[in-house]
Structure formats: C-alpha cells, structure tokens
Structure 1
Amino acid sequence: MSPLSRRSLIRGGAASAAAVLASVGFTDTAAARDIGGSTDPYRLTVLGTTDLHGNIFNWDYFKDAEYDDTPHNDVGLAKVSTLVEAVRTERGAASTLLIDAGDTIQGTPLAYYYAKVTPIGPGVIHPMAAAMNAMRYDAAALGNHEFNYGIPLLRTFEQQLNFPLLGANAVDVATGRPAFRPFVIKPVWVPGRWLPLWVGVLGLTNPGIAIWDRANVEGRMEFPGLVEQAAYWVPIMKQLGADVVVVSAHSGADTSSSYGDALPWPENAATLVAEQVPDIDAILVGHAHQEIAERRVVNTVTGREVVLTEPLRWGMRLSVLTIDVRPAARGFEVTSVTAQVLNSNTVAEDPAVVELLQADHQVVLDYVNSVVGTSAVAMSAATARYEDTAAIDFVNYVQADAVRTVLTGTEYAALPVLSIAAPFNREAAIPQGDVSVRDVAGLYIFDNTLQAVLMSGSDVREYLEFSARYFRAVTSAGPFTPDEVTNAVTATAPGGTPDYNYDVMGGLTAPLAYRIDLGQPVGSRIVDLTYAGAPLDPAGRFVIAINNYRASGGGSFPHTADATVVYNAQVEIRQLIIDWVTANGTIDPAVFASTDWSLTYQGAPLQISG
C-alpha cells in the first residue's frame, strides 16, 4: 500500500517519485557537495504563525472596537509584522525564514467579505495575500478552513501568493498526486560558504477536511494521514539535499480526533509525526489554537529530540525557532534546536501593513456596520451554553423556517421540522433597536451552510445524549459557576469540549422539550423528552435543520454523516439570518423564543451563577 493513501495514490509508489517531484518543480540535487570555505557554526531562525483566520488588524469586527480579551492579547498580522521585522533586524534577514501552519482565509468578516461579498479575482487581491506577501513569507501550509469557500477560491488565493502553499497530504483523486506542492527547499546563503544551507519545509494539512468540507472536496481530493505522508516525503527531501527539515503541520500536538474513528488517521497528530518519522528537526504546530512555546519529543527511531512550537492563534504570538548548524561531510548538520514565542501585545502595528490594507479594512467596517433591521428587545448569548436563550432560539427558528419553506410541496412537507444550533460566541448580542450586519454575524461566526436530514425520534434522543457530554458531572444541585459545569473533558476533547460542540435542538411549529440531568451518567442524561407536549415517539420521523459541518460528521455526533439528506443548496446560515432580518424588518422573540430545555440534578433545577 502506498503511503499516500489507502490505495496507491502515487502510481507505482516510490519508483515514480522522480516524476512526481518533476511535476511539482523539483530536480535531484542529492549529489555529494563540497561546501568549502569557513568551518564556523551558523544560526538559522525560522519564524512561524498559524491559525491567523483572517486577522490583519488588532480589531474585533463583531464589537466594532479594538480587540481585547481577559489576558489582554492582541491579534493580527500588522502586529506580527512588527515582531518579524524586529527579529530580522536582530538575527539578520538573510538567515531568517517566515512560515505559516494554515487556517488563513476564514474567520473574520474581513475574510468573509473577500470570499463572498466581493470575491477575490482579477483586480481584487485577498487582504491576507497582500499582507503575507508584504511580510515576505517563505511558505505556508494548508489549513482545513482554506477549503471552506471551495477549491476555486482557494486556487485563486494560491495564485495571489508570492510563496508556495504546501499540502503534501492533499491528494488529487484523479491523478493520485499531490494537489498542492508538498514541500519547498529554500537556500540560505552562509557567509564564507560556496553553497547554501538548504532548508526544507514540508506542509501537512488535516485529514478531517474530508469530513468537514465534504461538499467541496468529495471526489476531487483526499487527505491521508500526516505520519504516513511525512514518512514518504521527508526521505525525499533529505535525498534532494535538505540539511534542515521543518514541518509545518495543521494538526494539534496532543493526539486526538473530534471525529472519533470516522477516519483512519487522527486529527491531531503532530506529536506522532515527531515520534515516528526520522530526520525532522522541528514542527510548527497549528489547528489546536494552543500556545506551546517549546515541546521536545523524542523520535523513537533515532533517539533525537524534535522541537514542537505553536503560536496560539490569530496572530497573538510569533514562534521563533533557533536552529544551530555546523559543517558536515555533506552540507550541514543540526546541533541544537530551541523555540520560544513572542507576544504581539508588546508591539505596535507595522505602519506599512496598516497603510497597505487600511482601505480594505474600511470597506469591511462600512459593510458590517450597515443596519439591516431592528430588534424589539436585546438578546444575548452570554448564558447560552448553560440555559435556554432567545438568541439561540432565533438561530434555530430561522434555520427551521428556511427548511420548511424549501420542503413545501415535497414528500417531506408534512414531517415536523427540528433545528440544531450551538452557542458559537459567548459575546454575541443583538441590541434593542437598530441591528447591523455585525450584530447578526456575531451570532453565527462560522461560514457553515444549511442542510436538512432525516432522523427518527430515537436518533434525536441519542443525538441529545451525545451533546449532553458537554457538561461535567455534579454531585448536587449547586450553586455552581458556569465553568464548573460546562466544557467537560472527554476522550475526543482532552482540552475540554468546545462550546461549538454543544448543540441545542428546538422545534418549529411545536416545542421539543427536555431536561439534562447532570446527576445521571453520560448517555442517560436526557429526561422528560417530549414533542408537542407528548413523549417523543422513538419511531417518529423528523426533518432536522443542521449545518454542513455537523451533517458531514464534524464533532462525531451520531446519525448525521449517514442520514438521508433532503436539502443542501449550500446557503450560508449567517447570510440566511441577515437576509431574514432584512426581509422581516423586526426581530421579536415573542414569535420564536421559549424555555424548552434546562439543566437539573436528580430532578431539581441546577443553580448556576456568575
């Protein structure tokens, strides 16, 4: 079996590697080299970012204010650029490389605007491409969110970059070959040397793309495992003369998978790559949104340490890999690797980046602050993770209403419609009075699309039981703080279940009501489950309004990936909500809000405060 996938994705395996390499612009440079000149040691610096998610400015588009959080982090490439230039000044630009580990073009209204409102193309450069080109990036790996807007837009973004977009395990189904360049080998000229230090950067993305963006990639690309792909490509990079090998991996350090065993390859596998694949010197980690200044992992084959680093997210940090080398018989050998992270909140924004993209920023500010309707009362999602709120009811209502409308006249029109939504953003709020695009967008910060699937009553119960894993077990009715009850650690969420993996389900024309008893074991927490005031019929049939991430198996919820799909027109849910407000004019919770679920302990209401 070829290391590229479960089938032979490179025809003929390693024997045809030369043809594959030629197709991505490489030639064999593995002949012995006489480096000549000075025998002094040399210090290479590799700077890394990851999970930028469309952040250029230190700005919160949903609050219409400078970004701030409890630890007072700053965000954005404008801040990172200042740090990068400082390191280049200190270490020398000629001995410094800059790379990224993915999730670049999705996540802010700025990114959304240039994907959907005014899409990039001739005459329209993606702001992230413009910023990264100005900062002189050397390479970037693909993240899973690069595929959210479809392959054509991703290809346009790729063409706008002055550096390669890497994805060794993004494989073209038709050809069996990498759909993107798998790696790049960069020359770094060392004073006193006749030939350069060759630095290889291997890009790896996430197998979960096959699930999370199935609608965009199915039948076109496959995403085999990181370990398998690194084991295939690293020896080729060494054969081609790479003295240093750095992996840029859009995959978390702590081995786990939000999709369970739905794929044969783990979602978070950076540590496994370090442990199992020889000849890697360092890994820039992405995807998990964690801060890892330096983690040292021993390779089980060579006994050498591999250094991992992850610079949090959104440009909050910059990873700095310091790699010392010395002359060897064939080029250079690595003598030590260390890592640290620099904090973006210690510097001002780079005025060159600000000036370059201020006009794009202003266009998006005007867009997100445009008024689309009014609200009869204020609605907040601040407590939505532990109590029924009108804000989440509103999302469910719009989704369910849209599904009911499109199913009119079909064989499914008579079935009851339920809807699923999650508390994506604790800071989301709809004000009383004028409602802007950014107010509505704050309720739905992901670029998911609406689907509808069929479920039975028993499926609904099992789905809700799975969702209730989000809560921690308790031994009394409280009182508790929210953090003492929510974000439970599970086998698939060792860092705690994220809010976006807690789903609330509601009915459209009749209430779906239930209680979540945290005094009961996981799997037996849903009690008093009723529809239209009667116990839910296990054999009943329901149409479920659901987002594409969940419908494709994201979060590994039951009865989604294999459910019968009755609607999938690729309509974005956020835009659907904006359009609903624009068409209806007024948001009135009296139309859609009710308290249909609550937390209990052995039948008593759970007390939560703070």
Structure 2
Amino acid sequence: MSLNRRKFLGGTAVTSAGVVLAGGAAGTASATPQPQGHGNGNGNGNTKRHTFSVLGTTDLHGHVFNWDYFTDAEFEDAGGNDVGLAKLSTLIDEVRTEKGGRRNTVLIDAGDTLQGTQLAYYYAKVDPITARRGPVHPMARAMNAIGYDAAALGNHEFNYGIPLLRKFEQQCDFPLLGANALDARTERPAFPPYHMIKVPTPRGRDVKVAVLGLTNPGIAIWDRAHVEGKMTFPSLEQQAALYVPRLRSMGADVVIVSAHSGTSGTSSYGDQLPHIENAAAIVAERVPGIDAILVGHAHAEIPEHRVTNAETGKDVVLSEPLFWGKRLTVFDISVTWERGRWVVESVSSEVRNTNTVAEDPRITRLLSREHERVIAYVNQVIGTATEAMSASEAAYKDAPIIDFINFVQAETVTAALAGGAYADLPVLSQAACFSRSAAIPSGDVTIRDVAGMYVFENTLEARLITGAQLREYLEFSARYFVRTPAGAAIDPAKLTNAEGIPDYNYDAVSGVTYDIDIAEPAGSRIVDLRFAGEPVADDARFVLAVNNYRASGGGNFPHIAAADQLWANSDEIRNTIITWVQDNGEIDPARFASVDWRLTRAGQPVFD
C-alpha cells in the first residue's frame, strides 16, 4: 500500500491505527490530513476563496500502454489518438503541477477498468490474480502508482465474476464505489457508496469533497450469470437522491458524482429493466445538491455539458473524457468561505488530449514484465490459414471472417446438443463485426489474430426460437442500415450505424439466407428468408447459437432473452475459436464461407 491510503472493508474506512471513521457502513471518509496546497494561485492571503481541480478518467478497459495487442504495434487510429494509463500519468502530472500540485487536485475514475485488452484478460484468465499467490493486477498497480483517490464501478468490472472483482478491490489503494450495487440479501451497499476527501487550503480550512459512485443497472442483465441472487442494481437517480442529502448533512462542501452511465436518457435493453442505462443527465436534472458529474459508459467526448437542476435552478457540470485513456477531464472548482463553510462559486470543465504527452517511464518500467509476457502470449502460433480474411467490409457485406465465427459457434452447439431432445433441430448462429480492422492472415495464425476477431469476453448459449421470431430478430438487426432509395448513390462509409447503432449491435445470422432491402423502412426490410432453399415458416423451430450478451438482453433484440435456454457454456467464445484452430490446425474458408445475406434495393443487389 502507498502512503496516506486506507483499507476499505465492507464500506467502512479504517485508518492504519484501526480507528473506524465517520460514515460507517454507508461510506468512507478521509483518514489522513493532506498537506496544504496553494489553491492554483489563490493562496495569496485571500482565505475566502479557493480553487482546486478534480481530474477524471473513464472506460480505461485494461489499457496501460499505448499499445494494440491485436496488431502487435503501437496504438493507432484515424483520429491520431493515444491510449493508456502511461500516457495519462504524464498528463495528470502536468495538470497537477499547473493546478497547484497533487495536494490541490483530486483524481477519480468512472469505471470499466478490468476488461478490454489482452493485458486485462491475461491477468483474469491466464495468470489470474485470484490464484494462490497470484499477481497484482496491472491496472491496480498502475492506478495505485498514479495516485487515484476513488473509482466508480463499471459494468465490465463484473465480467470475470465477483471473486476476481473483490480481489482487484483488495489490490487497489483507493475505494471502488457503487451506491447502487446492493447485496441482494441485505439490500445494503455491497461496495462503499461514496468517499470523502479533504482538499487543504492555506489557512487550514479544508474543502470537504464527496465523491459518490454510481454504476450501471444493466449489470443485472449483462452479467446475470455472475450477479443474480447476489447483487441488485437500483436506479442511479434513486440512490443519488438517497445519498446526496446525506453527504451534505455530513458536511460535504462539494459533491461530485462519478457515474458509469451516459447522458442520453436511453437504454439499450429497452424496458427489460425499470432503470435507465444512460441516466447521468437525469440525475443532474432531478437530484439537487450535485456540483459536477464525471460521466462514463457511453464512450463519448464531452468537454463540458451543463444541466440545470429542476429544483435549485443551478447548473450541474457534466464531462466525459472519451475512453481508453484518450482524454483527461479537468473540473476546475472555485469555492468561497461563507458563514463558516465553503460554498461552490463556480464549476467549469474541459478535456485534455493524451496524444500531447509521452508515456510516463515510471509506469512503463513498473509493468514492462507484464507487458512482455502478454505480447509473448498473444503471438503464439496456433494454426495456419489457407487464405487471408478481413473484416474491413463485414459491416455491410457477408464476409468469410464472420462466417468463421458463426461456423465454430454452430458446430459447438450442434455437438453440445447431440443425442438430446433438440438434436434434430437446425442450428443457426449470430455474430457481429466487433472490429473492422480484424484480420486472419494467410499462413501462420496467432492467438492475437483470433482474439482480434472477437474482442469481448462473451460466452456461448443455445436458445430455441421460431421462424416468426427469427424474422423479427433480423428486422430489428437490419435497423442498422441507413435507408437508401433505389437509384441513389451508395457510399459504404455512410450506409451503416443508423441512429447511432454500433457495429456490435448488427447481427449477421448464418444457416438461413435472406436479403435486406435498404430502400424500405426499418421493420420491413427482410426479404426472401429461406432455410435449405425453402421459405421459413412462422412455426418452424430453430436453435440459435448466440452470445450471452445478446441472450441476456443486450441490444434489446426481440425474443432472445425470453427464449428457452437449451445449453450454455462458461468458456469465452474467443477461447472456443482458439481451441478450434488448435484442434483443427487449419482455417480453410472453403469449409464455411457462403453468402447467407446481402443488401438489396428493389430486388437488385447493392454490391456485386
């Protein structure tokens, strides 16, 4: 443990002397007074005003280095962005110096830390931190070294199960906050709901900053297998309304919410839950007493967004620093001393770009061994391919690389159901283009090649559906395409992601054939749906090989979440594909590549 840190046990902050601090089981409080700071130039004798800064990150998704383990090269994207905690560390140090030093800044995160890179996967599955005498998670080591004060829980924190999350929590020198993550049995907080931090001022009048952590209710759907019967996730608004007044009564001068929830007011899971997925702006509008919200989950860049609270008429400042460590949010907060307490005078925010700085050698040295181990792991050759396959056009054309995923999934489910009551039913499969840069080379194939096709830790299930349900499923998926009249020019770059639908929510289904008429409105696009050359009857029955995210309601696709589960596997689909390559030795598209679907207009194909 680093200096001036507390251990957090069951939501109670305990000093090194074993003294329980204010807040009890409901939250944590600062145990160690911090050295006094100069208040960003305001420590000039004016004791009635002080300015300090709250720095925020979110959706780091296992990124420490500015490195892409799927391409085995430095990270690169079209926007010229950089990623990772090593970059953030340098930028954080610069901002701390600019704002009056570490003593005059607070550093928080809004969740989704534990999943997303092969570095994160390696220390969850290959060399797990939960093993006896297991390693310290690289994200914990890096964030401890940088000096985080608190982090909210993201939904992806639960992807590897609660035991691994609890081990990660033990390894962090800062609390993981989740006011709306409750123990299912006691309905009490399963994690500290909040953390109180004292920011010193020149004359000793500390500014008491409360950080309230809120996570995403969708965890109950997306990670049902890990949390059902163990934890519940009420709405962000409900828990904020419960805790913000409590924090104010405890003497909080400033209340910051770290929310793993976007600002749109919408939910990808529709009405499957009574709680809104992207509720940060709703919390700002409806819950009085909040000064700023660090937003996460939506992977958006929001330098500053002001929401007027309906009760107080005061602005709440929201900011979201993109994702993967590409940006750093900086909230500048000015307070004045009035009637024996600090009162917020103004709040503003901006985002800083990590591509303006070099990686911090302190962080890269700290984790160089872990980095090299993962590089060696992902570059293991596991088989060969007879020809190259690419996902560059897979979002709008039936591509062999997606066919390969569907082929392995369907084969796995067929084998699992063999000899059972459903063995004679046709097995279909769904897959999405998770990464348009995914590619399988001709010749040697490595773990990273296969992992690059399937970047999420999804597992495989088999669900029973009818022909009518399949058609509705495909219609829902086809909303992804922008309606384009017959005869109009086609620009593939503008054809997809209608209404902001991400690539991972467009499913291509194998085992049947169908056309998608993009000249028609959403809901009326599926044409000539056939199985084995015959039209699909409404009462036909199929088995759908489907990932657990979709099966649990992710994306709000119709019928699947309520469909009978015939089989489920706890192994990641990525590992299933890797094992298939190892067992078969060769990937030959001649075994699986076929044109099952195509885009059309008035019966004519959009692409040759």
Whether TM-score is above 0.5 comes out as: yes
1:188 aligned residue (168, 188, 199): 199
Q: Which amino acid letter does the alignment assign opposite residue 49 of structure 1?
A: T
Q: Give 1:47's aligned residue.
A: 55
1:523 and 2:533 correspond: no
Q: Which amino acid letter does the alignment assign opposite residue 115 of structure 2?
A: Q
1:95 and 2:104 correspond: yes
Contact 1:107 1:445 in 2 (8 A): yes
129-138 or 212-221, which deviates more = 212-221
C-alpha distance in structure 1 between counterparts of 2:432 and 2:412, whole Å: 18
1:549 and 2:549 correspond: yes
1:141 and 2:145 correspond: no
2:120 aligned residue (100, 111, 123): 111
2:302 is paired with a residue whose SS is strand
1:341 is paired with a residue whose SS is strand
Deviations along 1:318-358, one digit per CA (max 9) or x if unpaired, are 00000001112242000000101110000000010000001
Q: Are the structure 2 counterparts of residues 28 and 350 from structure 1 closer, same or farther at C-alpha, using a change threshold of 3 Å?
A: closer
2:281 aligned residue (257, 271, 274): 271
Deviations along 1:86-123, one digit per CA (max 9) or x if unpaired, are 11112221110100000001001111111111111334
Deviation, structure 1 residue 191: 1.1
1:387 and 2:397 correspond: yes
Q: Give 2:40's aligned residue.
A: none
C-alpha distance in structure 2 between counterparts of 1:254 and 1:240, whole Å: 31
Task: List gaps (5 residues or longer) in structure 1.
Answer: 1-18, 30-36, 490-495
C-alpha distance in structure 2 between counterparts of 1:163 and 1:39, whole Å: 30
Deviations along 1:9-67, one digit per CA (max 9) or x if unpaired, are xxxxxxxxxx99422455899xxxxxxx9633111110000000000000011111111
1:506 and 2:510 correspond: yes
Q: TM-score, normalised by structure 1?
A: 0.92
Q: Which amino acid letter does the alignment assign opposite residue 411 of structure 1?
A: A
Contact 2:30 2:195 in 1 (8 A): no
Q: Give 1:8's aligned residue.
A: none
1:238 is paired with a residue whose SS is helix
2:73 aligned residue (65, 74, 80): 65
Deviation, structure 1 residue 526: 0.5
Contact 2:263 2:278 in 1 (8 A): yes
C-alpha distance in structure 2 between counterparts of 1:414 and 1:21, whole Å: 60
The equivalences for 1:193-272 within 5 A come to 193=204, 195-272=205-282
C-alpha distance in structure 2 between counterparts of 1:25 and 1:253, whole Å: 26
C-alpha distance in structure 2 between counterparts of 1:154 and 1:103, whole Å: 11
Task: List gaps (5 residues or longer) in structure 2.
Answer: 1-20, 32-44
Q: Give 2:539's aligned residue.
A: 539
1:155 is paired with a residue whose SS is helix
Contact 1:479 1:606 in 2 (8 A): no
2:367 is paired with a residue whose SS is helix
Q: Which amino acid letter does the alignment assign opposite residue 563 of structure 1?
A: A
90-99 or 433-442, which deviates more = 90-99
Deviation, structure 1 residue 482: 1.6
1:440 aligned residue (424, 428, 450): 450
Deviation, structure 1 residue 232: 0.5
Deviation, structure 1 residue 480: 1.2
Deviation, structure 1 residue 483: 2.7
Deviations along 1:453-506, one digit per CA (max 9) or x if unpaired, are 1001111111101100101111124441123211001xxxxxx10000000001
Q: Give 1:589's aligned residue.
A: 589
Residue-pair matches, total: 573
Q: Which amino acid letter does the alignment assign opposite residue 24 of structure 2?
A: A
Q: Give 1:475's aligned residue.
A: 485
RMSD: 1.7
Contact 1:38 1:192 in 2 (8 A): no
1:266 is paired with a residue whose SS is coil
C-alpha distance in structure 1 between counterparts of 2:470 and 2:607, whole Å: 26
1:206 is paired with a residue whose SS is coil
1:519 is paired with a residue whose SS is coil
Deviations along 1:145-180, one digit per CA (max 9) or x if unpaired, are 001001110011011000000000001111110111
1:86 is paired with a residue whose SS is helix
C-alpha distance in structure 2 between counterparts of 1:483 and 1:28, whole Å: 51
C-alpha distance in structure 2 between counterparts of 1:514 and 1:43, whole Å: 61
1:297 and 2:307 correspond: yes
C-alpha distance in structure 1 between counterparts of 2:277 and 2:471, whole Å: 27
Q: Which amino acid letter does the alignment assign opposite residue 93 of structure 1?
A: R
Q: Which amino acid letter does the alignment assign opposite residue 147 of structure 1?
A: F
C-alpha distance in structure 1 between counterparts of 2:29 and 2:402, whole Å: 55
Contact 2:162 2:227 in 1 (8 A): yes
Deviation, structure 1 residue 143: 0.4
1:326 and 2:345 correspond: no
2:465 is paired with a residue whose SS is strand
2:498 is paired with a residue whose SS is coil
Deviations along 1:373-403, one digit per CA (max 9) or x if unpaired, are 0000000011111010100000000001001
After superposing on structure 2, the runs of 4+ consecutive aligned residues of structure 1 that deviate more than 4 Å are 24-29
Contact 2:27 2:194 in 1 (8 A): no
Contact 1:53 1:107 in 2 (8 A): yes
C-alpha distance in structure 2 between counterparts of 1:470 and 1:268, whole Å: 20
C-alpha distance in structure 1 between counterparts of 2:466 and 2:456, whole Å: 28
1:187 is paired with a residue whose SS is strand
Contact 2:393 2:399 in 1 (8 A): yes
Q: Give 1:306's aligned residue.
A: 316
1:464 aligned residue (471, 474, 483): 474
Matched-pair identity in %: 59
Q: Give 2:18's aligned residue.
A: none
Q: TM-score, normalised by structure 2?
A: 0.92
1:440 is paired with a residue whose SS is helix
1:442 is paired with a residue whose SS is helix
1:54 is paired with a residue whose SS is coil
Q: Give 1:7's aligned residue.
A: none
Contact 1:477 1:600 in 2 (8 A): no
C-alpha distance in structure 1 between counterparts of 2:27 and 2:194, whole Å: 10
1:421 is paired with a residue whose SS is strand
Q: Give 1:153's aligned residue.
A: 164
1:128 and 2:128 correspond: no
1:393 is paired with a residue whose SS is helix
C-alpha distance in structure 2 between counterparts of 1:376 and 1:265, whole Å: 49
1:267 is paired with a residue whose SS is coil
2:83 aligned residue (75, 78, 83): 75
C-alpha distance in structure 1 between counterparts of 2:321 and 2:563, whole Å: 38
C-alpha distance in structure 2 between counterparts of 1:468 and 1:55, whole Å: 33
1:168 aligned residue (167, 179, 183): 179
1:435 is paired with a residue whose SS is strand
C-alpha distance in structure 1 between counterparts of 2:163 and 2:439, whole Å: 34
Q: Which amino acid letter does the alignment assign opposite residue 122 of structure 2?
A: Y
Deviation, structure 1 residue 410: 1.0
Q: Which amino acid letter does the alignment assign opposite residue 52 of structure 2?
A: L
C-alpha distance in structure 1 between counterparts of 2:169 and 2:65, whole Å: 22
Deviation, structure 1 residue 359: 0.6
C-alpha distance in structure 2 between counterparts of 1:261 and 1:477, whole Å: 38
The equivalences for 1:415-426 within 5 A come to 415-426=425-436
